[in-house]
Amino acid sequence: MRRVEHVMGFPVSVRIDDEDFPGQPVDELFAWLREADARFSPFRPDSEVSRLDRGEAAGPGPELREILDLCEEYRVATGGAFDVRPPGGRLDPCAVVKGWSVQRGAELLSAAGARRFCLNAGGDVVAAGGPWRVGVRHPEQAGRLCAVLDLTDRAVATSARYERGDHILDARTGRPATGLLSMTVVAPTLTEADTVATAAFALGAEGVPWAASRPGCEVFAVDAERRVLRSEGFPVAA
């Protein structure tokens, strides 16, 4: 089964290689992603995040609390470089919401019996079963790859400047993080891979050893001097 939809501002594709897998769990996957976007997007004025930011909610619900707890964990771990509410700014937990919600979607598929599938959300991937081959885009040349991975039961996410420019801030300074061109993280879940990649990018060059020291994480980075930095266990395809 293969299916693609545009959700949360980017294309989401799923490929399931299990024979005779039913369509209903895939419908539920995309329904969940649309729900997560409606509830947690800071760009929707009626979302739970926007209402909380405006002081119109008594407090976050359980799932938003989980997201905000993760945000705080990474704020502390990066010494404040990663912060979803920078001074004077609005609450924007997108850096955690994307990986967290897509990981939840992958867990819906697994619970429904899917064993071998690839869920790709705007280039961030959950690979169940495997091995799956996943390309990492070159940070400066859109038509090229700078690495190809072999992934089995893992996830990979990349934070970079090529899609949205200098959109990731180092909250310690309030200025764009420019020490890296791209940061790719492989981790057991997309929640971890996506958040660690963004947090490491916010840290700049010091984010490479920081990310590599996180339990279960492997990294592949290109710094502002165009040097490639890779942890020993990064699963590059043979």
Residues 123 and 104: their CA atoms lie apart, in Å, by 17
What per-residue confidence (pLDDT) applies to 79? 97
Residue numbers of the chain with a pLDDT score lower than 70: 162-165
Q: The pTM is what? A: 0.94
What per-residue confidence (pLDDT) applies to 13? 98
What per-residue confidence (pLDDT) applies to 130? 87
What per-residue confidence (pLDDT) applies to 167? 77
What per-residue confidence (pLDDT) applies to 164? 60
